[in-house]
Amino acid sequence: MKKNTVKDRIFILTATAAFVFLMCLTGYFKMEKSKPFSYKDNLKKEAAVINGKGLTLKDMAFYVAYVENKVEKEAYVYNKESTRDFWNARLQGKIMAAMAKKTVYSMAVHDTVFYREAKKHQISLSPDEAKYAENSFTDFKEDLLDIQRKRMPVSMNEIENEILKMALAQKYQRILAKEKNLSYESLNWDGDEYEKILSEHKVRKNDRIWDRVNVGEITVHHDHVNFVNGKNPGDRSYVKWIEHMDIKDIFSKS
């Protein structure tokens, strides 16, 4: 029988060490993902990188609050005794909470891309447009749920700043729609023409951070759930309706 050479032994030791290291690294990331994640304590973390520049959780806080507000109000209609039921219901085959999270990310990326393009082209808000944005901020504050006021991860000044950025992004969207002879809606975050424009930008999602963000439990909170994944033992009429609902319907309501 051929004895192992020194090179063979070195290879075996190296391979074993690499395997052990990989297992430890995998275990570390699993352990990290299992730990409770505080949105407020991680505001500087980047959820995505757009054209080499980060999009932080702080930048996305307004979108989190906006989406959670809209979904939670719809959830109250669904089951005011246990609003988490609505978050766990299925929408077009997908869990509502997952769809809400995707909406937060998509809206934030959309507005960031357009805001940065507006700044690059030295576009700014007129006094009237700035006033309109300030009124939007006032409306947003008034629409907040009491629990959201307590759990908001950023200050109201920071929220106002993000709404002003959003207003500038919307102005750029209007200009772009006119230049390209497109409808404004086609350039929305879920629009076909916007998807074409987005493909021209380099966007990388930071899954290690974004996967740990629990939309539906940041500015709102739920202590209990009556059913899971849309399986409600009670009235099925609303569940049947929601299965054919589009998440955009929630945000089209005043």
Q: Are residues 135 and 194 both part of a single domain?
A: yes
Q: Are residues 166 and 201 both part of a single domain?
A: yes
Query: What residues make up the domain containing 148?
Result: 42-251
Q: Are residues 146 and 196 both part of a single domain?
A: yes
User: If we measure between CA atoms, which residue out of 60, 35, 57, 65 comes closest to residue 145?
Assistant: 65
Q: Are residues 93 and 144 both part of a single domain?
A: yes
Q: pLDDT per residue over 124-157, tens digit each? A: 999 999 999 999 999 999 999 999 999 999 999 9
Q: Are residues 20 and 110 both part of a single domain?
A: no
Number of domains composing the chain: 2
Q: Are residues 85 and 7 both part of a single domain?
A: no
The reported pLDDT for the residue numbered 251 is 66
Q: Are residues 54 and 144 both part of a single domain?
A: yes
Q: Are residues 13 and 62 both part of a single domain?
A: no
Per DSSP, the residues of the chain read: -PPPPHHHHHHHHHHHHHHHHHHHHHHHHHHHHHS---SGGGTTSEEEEETTEEEEHHHHHHHHHHHHHHHHHHHHHH-TT-THHHHHSEETTEEHHHHHHHHHHHHHHHHHHHHHHHHHTT----HHHHHHHHHHHHHHHHH--HHHHHH-SS-HHHHHHHHHHHHHHHHHHHHHHHHTT--SGGGSTT-HHHHHHHTTS-EEE-HHHHTT--TTSSSS--S--S-STT--SS--HHHHHHTT--HHHHHT--
Q: Are residues 28 and 153 both part of a single domain?
A: no
Q: pLDDT per residue over 176-203, tens digit each? A: 999 999 999 999 999 999 999 999 999 9
Q: What average pLDDT is seen over the chain?
A: 85
Q: Are residues 17 and 71 both part of a single domain?
A: no
Q: Are residues 75 and 16 both part of a single domain?
A: no
Overall pTM > 0.75: yes
Question: Domain containing 126 — which CATH number?
Answer: 1.10.4030
Q: Are residues 161 and 232 both part of a single domain?
A: yes
